[in-house]
Amino acid sequence: MNKIKNLIKNIKNWLISLFTTRYKLTVSYNNTFGDADDQTFIVRKFLTKKDKYIKFRTWDKEIVEIRGADGLNYRIEEI
């Protein structure tokens, strides 16, 4: 029964992915990417993008807000 549920869920996610755009967001709190302080998110929709503040909805439908006093260094890639 679990195999059937997983199969239906995978088919549903595949169909949704055909019509939506996903983004990979990498946030770095200093000027160099690839450090230990980097965070990576799979983003469904950006709600607010400013110099020191970013708010977005993840693929799991969670709303995330990130603030930086000196500004944020972030990289957005379309998947």
Q: What is the pLDDT of residues 34-70, one digit of tens each?
A: 777 788 999 999 999 988 899 999 988 899 999 988 8
C-alpha distances in Å from residue 78, one per residue of 20, 29, 55, 75: 11, 21, 17, 10
Q: What are phi and psi of 21, to 5 degrees?
A: -105, 130
pLDDT in tens, 15-40: 988 888 889 999 887 777 777 778 89
pTM: 0.72
- In-domain check, residue 35: yes
Alpha carbons within 13 angstroms on the beta-carbon side of residue 29 total 8
- Torsion sign across C-alpha atoms 62, 47, 50, 74: positive
- In-domain check, residue 55: yes
The residue type of 66 is I
Domain of residue 37: give its range: 21-78
- Alpha helices by DSSP H, the chain: 2-19
pLDDT of residue 20: 86
Q: How many domains does the chain have?
A: 1
- In-domain check, residue 1: no
- In-domain check, residue 46: yes
- In-domain check, residue 4: no
